[in-house]
Structure 1
Amino acid sequence: MQALSSPNPFLDSVFEVRWQRCRPECVEPAIVEALVEARGEIEKIATQPLEGLSFESTFLALEKATERLGTAWGLVTHWQSVADSPALRQAHNAMLPQVSAFYSSIPLNPELWRRLKAFNESAAAGEVQGIERRLMEETLADFVQAGADLPDEKRARLAALQSELAQVTQKYSENVLDATNAWELIVEDEARLAGLPEHAKEAARQSAAGAGRSTGWRFTLHQPSQEPVMVYAQDESLRRELWEAAVAVGTREPHDNTALVRQILTLRAEKAALLGKPNFAEVVLERRMAQGGARALAFVEDLGARAAAAFAQDTSELEKFKAAQTSEPVAKLAPWDLAFWAEKLRQKKHAFDEEALRPYFALGSVVEGLFELVRRVFGVVVKERAAGAAEVWHPEVRFYDLFDADSGEQLGSFYSDWHPRDAKRGGAWMNYLRTGARSADMRTPHLGLICGNLTPPVGERPALLTHREVETVFHEFGHLLHHLLGEIAVKSLNGVNVAWDFVELPSQIMENWCWEREALDLFARHYETGERIPDALFEAMSAARNFRSATFLMRQVSLAKLDLLLHTDSARYLAASDIETAIRAAIAPHLVPTEPSAPTVLTRFGHIFSDPVGYAAGYYSYQWAAVLDADAFTRFKREGLFNRQTGRAFREAILSRGNAAPPMELYREFMGREPDLQAHLARSGI
């Protein structure tokens, strides 16, 4: 089935998206047309004679049946995430139930399932090998996991559940975005800004001017605005004001997510019951590396136990430090004091101020250095298109092409969009817009994107990043490489379409280079003088790397455990009069003790509640993949940070293989063995 050219930008078959033609009124006709086409293709497969079925007329036809719809809907959902507006949101939400219902209906179509099973049981199926065999196995498993063997009544209810989940999780996401954007603080008294880095003050002043104010400094809940206040502002009342606003996101009308959390958990529990599983975690994790909620929870709790002593030491040390500095009795800190006093302690212990690094991390230089690194390690070349050569959704967006360094073949292209806007959702992410494939005689390129909410430029000064923001750039580009370097003939098995506790390996391994002097020297240059990071500053940065690392690890444990408990024992928490109180008590040993106690992220935890599945029952994946990436990076450390042969081995075993084989098989192919937990603990100083 060929993708047809169309004047509608969401259906246009041209490789580069015509963003300037995108309008909210284009959404409905595009998606309706794509839905009609996809339904027709599914109907052809489901009504063909049972005699003479072939791989091409069943599994391969199903693979291609929804491609045009998937691409169109992906463009719509991406556009809404970076350019939200009332009209676009209305257009998106009007089509969301239909799209969700259609996708839910595919594995619940009894005649379609009958033909897939019939071919699988035929003699011809025995001749299907390689990646086509993998597609058959994965498709059959997808259908069973989605309820294909359920009786009619349960199939109908499951389809309705899926549609409802899509709508309520979308509403949860909208509430987080709207609550974040609804809050601002205007400071008129400059004395309240004592301690703030100059760049943060300038950004707040620029924000106020952009909001039409001739005086004052404007602060929002976007991370580049909020974080410097929490870390550096000497005015405790200012820190408290921002902290209280941040933790209130999703708790107040008209953006209250409290009831939605209960509704989402209820729907997920019912879905699990319909599928014959004891809980939602078992539905999600059955085919991931962890294989089940109990194993994932045991992994998380083991990490927590290993970090417990160091975590207690971190807490005690910070409490004693504040007491010594203020001549007060040792006591729990207020939650809005943690980042502030932790930064002062870090400066005292390591003579290291994170802000001292900013001048060396101009975004443009960081990106150029990243591109040079991946050229050396993975043998790929990135070239930016001239401004205006490709249409973009915002003037800040850049467009790039990626080529193989040896053959010159174009592997793919991508957009980057790095700074916050009110119409753009928070966080950082990578996504794909078009997935290519490698066949025997040709390769079609991939199209992807990376987005963030990094520190923006101020006036004539470039965007100067924190080191953590540099890691974010490298992280998201790792995901992008996983997509762009896919060499699989079947699109649905290509790129990042892998188990979610494996998908973070390509992204997280990239962060390791951000700590290596040899790699930093590629890009970490003072934006005014061009000098590299001084030795003393680099040594202080390295010494401070594991400062309060047990606290960071325990925060990850708390988030993963909150997620897993809600999805392995949802009945317990749904029975509670207040889910927040119940879940907080369950994860309390993993939280920094404060006075007053801080609420959990329950009402603003987009990872697990902003999607019908998303990272639900899967947030542990970040730490699971941290074990993989720390261990895998030991090979680069041993064989050379820029060793092209090692990079080629990683590219061939991991980055290019998608879901061509079980993830542990791919990992063993690169490392020659299964992963060792010790590398992760050692890197964390635990």
Structure 2
Amino acid sequence: MDAEKGTAPGILRAWDFDISPEDLHIRASKIMDECRKICEKVGALQGDEITFESVLGEIAEGQRIFANERLYLDLPMYVSAKKELRDASAEVSSKLNEFEIEIDMRTDIFQKLLVLEKKDTSCLSPERKRFLDRLIKLRKRDGLHLDAEVQKKVKQLKNDISELEVKYNKNCNEENTVLEFTDEQLKGMPEDFIKSLEMVESGKRKVTLKHPHVMPIMKMAADPETRKKVNFACESRCVTENIPLLEKAISLRDQKAQILHYPTHADYITELLMARSAANVKRFLTELADKLQPLWAKEKKVLLELKEEECKRQGIPFDGELHCWDVAFYKNLVEERHYKVDQEKLRAYFPLDVVMKGLFGIYELLLRLKFEEIDKPALWHPEVRMFKVTDSETKELLGYFFMDLFPREGKYSHFCNIPLQATCRKPDGTRQIGVVAVVCNFPKPTADKPSLLTHSDVETFFHEFGHTMHHLCSQTELVMFEGTTVERDFLECPSQMLENWCWDMESLGRMSKHYSSGEPLPKELADPLIASRLANVGQFNLRQITLALFDLELHVKPEAETAKLFAEIQEKLLGYKPQPGTNFAANFSHLMGGYDSRYYGYLPSLTFSFLHACPLSLSCLCRRTSPTGPPLQQWSQVFSMDLFDTRFKKEGILNPKTGMDYRRQILETGSTKDAEVMLRNFLGRDPRMDAFLASKGLAPPS
């Protein structure tokens, strides 16, 4: 094991990034030259030279080597502590995006694929046949079956859109706004939280817009002016820089859709997803919003009653309105007063290392895996930890994952998985193992306390690690179908199902222990927490519908003014407006990170009848490498809750046999099968929505 040098068995390159910005550019040029030669070789084939192996084999190998290097070159943009490396990575990413577009739109290769389509494909494995079909489908969606002028225009539009997306996301990552508050303005916050904030020359406390600062303040700061100031800062991040980029990208996406004869960009995108059309998505969103309104009305009444009580307690006027900076605070009070959930007491039982050990143990048991930490790895930051993953029975090495746990300047500010090395077969038949970075932003340890997580943090950690397992357990032959390359509106289902373990007493017991006394999580704290799962579900889901409808409408009506549209939708569904001068779209990275017209997947489907299995829209693993948080969540919950309720809840939440069925039938399959097929295989029937509706406090249909 050479981890101290940044490598280990099966890892193709060192991940310490002890390189210069110039080295990134040199490596990018080298991989582009190498892949261009492969394309020239395939493009020059004639007559009998055009075989499945000479075309598909070469393309598959080109995708493998390009993905491996592309993922390496993109990572610094999201995690490097050196601004010069982050800048160089963003520049290189733009070049590589342009190169991918060039390669994908080569008509000479497209013609070779059409020749293969006419041959007898019975000799191909199902995965290779799917590969051929997918390559042709994706190129037709780029207009390669249309005339040269259309192709030229589409290529230019794709390049322009890609450049805008890179700039937008770089601005988000580099954003470093700092606010200052007195201790009095932070009244209501835990003492250790206030002490953890840096004191500045003015004598005030320094607050960033990173997750570990923003979320606790919005939930617990008693002063509404403090919450209002933080909310304004968060929802006005990057407005000047990013709104012009976003609005231009939306316009160009619409132009591309029109040229390719699609009604809208939303229709272009959804064609390859489970929903199949923008109209289906719009129907599902509006139906669900209507169904949730009575529930939200009851929740809102309770929130306003709590606000009136709190205003009287503080001696400030009660205006009878619920504002956007009020919602998280009073939702938290609902949990405390109506469900008796004490989040601060709970945090003491979730020290990060204890949670991690328990989480690992659950995944090891369910999936028959073994995790082993590697000492002193040379990685991109001293805080990053490295783990080896093997099959506990066969001892086969499956891969590695890196844990980048704490926030720092310039680092991606949310939670995500970033694949670094795809798992697939190499040309010699041996397996290329997977490597994944798990990027988190948990609170840092203080002088007298370890990093303590909220229950929400635990749930997020469990979810993200589910994606890690999806990558590393994958057993596909080709990079294109590896791990999480499933349909985007199915992507969250496997990980979401695993969130249920965070609401189970036995599982919570494995992941908790008081940081100082070592005592287990007491039942009197755990029971109210588990009971609170249904708290505020109406507001939460309507908030997600607001974001999904905003995303959809932007790509159906590209001329819309972003700030005005968002305000109208939020007020209609939730009854409160954003603050004047803010524009949530400026930092809504899903819109510019590969989830445009796809945010609806965060929301549950009201019907299953209009879902159809369909090919994935990604051309290879490295397409759209910008990381995201947990996208496409609630749509997937229809399926994830059914998987959990039908199998694990009945057969045992820690049943290794059921866990192995999940590993074999869902995780290992990648996107070699349609999502609908995988669901039927695991469930033994078509999916149903009863479990999902129950999880939201809604009655299932009669």
Judge same fold: TM > 0.5, yes or no: yes
Instruction: Indicate the residue corresponding to 1:3 in structure 2.
Output: none
Structure 1 counterpart SS, 2:59: helix
| 1:30 positional shift | 0.4
By relative contact order (CA 8 Å, sep 6+), the higher-ranking structure is: 2
Summarize the Cα distance change of 1:423–1:501 in structure 2 as closer, same or farther, 3 Å threshold: same
Q: Which runs of 5+ in 2 are unaligned?
A: 604-631
- 1:401 aligned partner: 388
Give 1:323's aligned residue. 308
Matched, 1:200 2:184: no
Deviation of 1:65 after TM superposition, in Å, equals: 1.5
Structure 1 residue 174: Cα displacement: 2.3
Q: Secondary structure at the match of 1:148?
A: coil
1:382 corresponds to 2:371: yes
Which residue does the alignment assign to 2:684?
672
Match of 2:235 in 1: 247
Distance 1:219 1:548 in 2: 27
Match of 1:4 in 2: none
The residue aligned with 2:257 is 272
Structure 2 partner of 1:295: 280
For 2:417 and 2:485, the matched residues in 1 are separated by 13
Q: Distance in 2 between matches of 1:369 and 1:427?
A: 23
- Give yes or no for contact 2:257–2:263 (8 Å, CA) kept in 1: yes
**More displaced stretch, 652-661 vs 21-30:** 21-30
TM-fit CA distance, 1:570: 2.4
Whole-angstrom CA distance in 2 between matches of 1:203 and 1:324: 30
- Once residues 267 and 524 of structure 1 are traced to their aligned partners in structure 2, the CA distance between those partners, rounded to angstroms, is 50
Equivalent position of 2:296 in the other structure: 311
Question: What amino acid sits opposite 2:565 in the alignment?
Answer: A
1:538 to 523, 526, 531: 526
Match of 1:178 in 2: 174
Distance 1:392-1:339 versus aligned 2 partners, 3 A rule: same
Residue 428 of structure 1 corresponds to 415
The one-letter code sitting in structure 2 at the alignment partner of 1:605 is F
Cα shift at 1:587: 4.6
CA distance in 2, matches of 1:557, 1:214: 42
| Paired residues for 1:213-228 under 5 Å | 215-228=203-216
Name which of 604, 617, 629 aligns with 2:640: 629
Shift of 1:624: 1.2
CA distance in structure 2 between the aligned counterparts of 1:610 and 1:658, rounded to whole angstroms: 21
Kept in 1, the 8 Å contact 2:10–2:399? The answer is: no
Q: Label 1:136 to 1:525 Cα distance change in 2 as closer, same or farther (>3 A).
A: same
In the TM superposition, what is the alpha-carbon distance from 1:88 to its structure 2 partner? Answer: 2.3
In structure 1, the residue matched to 2:610 is none
Q: CA deviation at 1:215?
A: 4.8
The alignment status of 1:230 with 2:218, answered yes or no, reads yes
Cα distance in 1 for residues equivalent to 2:131 and 2:91: 33
Q: How far, CA to CA, are the matches of 2:264 and 2:249 in structure 1?
A: 13
**Matched residue pairs, number?**
659
Contact 2:405 2:442 in 1 (8 A): yes
- 2:179 counterpart letter in structure 1: L
Counterpart secondary structure, 1:59: helix
Give the match's secondary structure for 1:185. Answer: strand
Secondary structure of 2:75's match? helix
1:416 pairs with one of 399, 403, 422? 403
Cα distance in 2 for partners of 1:136, 1:616 equals 29
On the 8 A contact 2:232/2:582 being kept in 1, the answer is no
Deviations 1:283-303 (A, max 9, x none): 222121111212122222222
Give per-residue Cα distances to partners, 1:345-376, cap 9 Å, x unaligned.
Answer: 33221222222210111111111111100111
SS in 1 for 2:89: helix
Aligned to 2:325, the other structure's residue is in SS state: helix
Aligned-residue CA RMSD (Å): 2.4
C-alpha displacement of 1:595 = 8.7
Q: Which amino acid aligns with 1:633?
A: F
- Give the match for residue 629 of structure 2: none
Q: Does 1:360 align with 2:349?
A: yes
What residue identity is the alignment partner of 1:186? E
Question: 1:475 and 2:475 equivalent?
Answer: no
State how far apart, in whole Å, the 1-side matches of 2:410 and 2:399 are. 27
Deviation, 1:67, is 2.7
Distance 1:68 1:349 in 2: 55
2:654 maps to which of 633, 637, 642: 642
CA deviation string 1:27-46 (max 9, x = no partner):
11100011111111001001
Please tell me whether residue 608 in structure 1 is matched to residue 591 in structure 2: yes
Q: 1:597–1:80: structure 2 CA closer, same or farther, 3 Å change rule?
A: closer
Query: Corresponding residue for 1:81?
Result: 78
Structure 1 residue 39 and structure 2 residue 36: aligned? Answer: yes
SS at match of 1:558: helix
Q: Which stretch has the larger CA shift, 321-330 or 666-675?
A: 321-330
Partner Cα separation in structure 2 for residue 661 and residue 652 of structure 1: 13
For residues 460-495 of structure 1, give each alpha carbon's deviation from its aligned partner in whole angstroms, at most 9, with x where no partner exists: 421100111111111111111000000111222121
Contact 2:571/2:577 (8 A) holds in 1: no
Q: Structure 1 residue 342 and structure 2 residue 335: aligned?
A: no
Is 1:164 the equivalent of 2:176?
no
Distance 1:492 1:660 in 2: 9
Counterpart Cα distance in 2 of 1:645 and 1:450? 27
SS of 1:562's partner is: helix
Partner of 1:5: none
Does 2:267 match 1:282?
yes
1:625 aligned partner, one-letter code: S
Letter matched to residue 145 of structure 1? R
Q: Does the 8 Å CA contact 1:428/1:451 hold for their aligned counterparts?
A: yes
- Give the CA deviation at 1:332: 0.9
CA shift, 1:68, in A, is 2.4
| Range moving further from structure 2, 233-242 or 264-273 | 233-242
Q: What's the offset of the Cα at 1:607?
A: 1.1
Q: What is the 5 A alignment of 1:79-228?
A: 79-83=76-80, 85-123=82-120, 125-179=121-175, 181=176, 183-187=177-181, 189-204=182-197, 207-208=198-199, 215-228=203-216
User: Structure 2 CA distance, aligned partners of 1:655 and 1:170?
Assistant: 30
Q: In structure 1, give the amino acid aligned to 2:174.
A: D
Deviates more, 1:232-241 or 1:531-540: 232-241
**CA distance in structure 2 between the aligned counterparts of 1:46 and 1:595, rounded to whole angstroms:** 53
Q: Secondary structure at the match of 2:53?
A: coil
Secondary structure at the aligned position of 1:51 is classed as: helix
Displacement after TM superposition at 1:598 (Å): 9.2
In the alignment, is residue 261 of structure 1 matched against residue 261 of structure 2?
A: no
Counterpart amino acid of 2:188? G
**Matched letter for residue 623 of structure 1:** Q
**1:454 match: secondary structure:** coil
Measure, in 2, the Cα distance between the counterparts of 1:469 and 1:499: 26
Cα shift at 1:583: 3.9
Deviation larger for 237-246 or 398-407: 237-246
- Give a deviation string over 1:160-219, Cα, whole Å, max 9, x none: 11111111111112222333x1x21233x4333321112311221xx34xxx75954211
Contact 1:608–1:617 (CA under 8 A) maintained in structure 2: no
User: C-alpha displacement at 1:584, in angstroms?
Assistant: 2.8
Q: Deviations over 1:647-676 (max 9, x none)?
A: 111111100000111110011000012222
Q: Closer, same or farther in 2 for the Cα pair 1:651/1:66, shift >3 Å?
A: closer
CA distance in 1, matches of 2:122, 2:245: 47
Is the 2:493–2:640 Cα contact (8 Å) retained in structure 1? Answer: yes
Q: Structure 1 residues 471 and 590, CA, compared in 2 at 3 Å: closer, same or farther?
A: same
Bigger shift: 57-66 or 338-347? 338-347
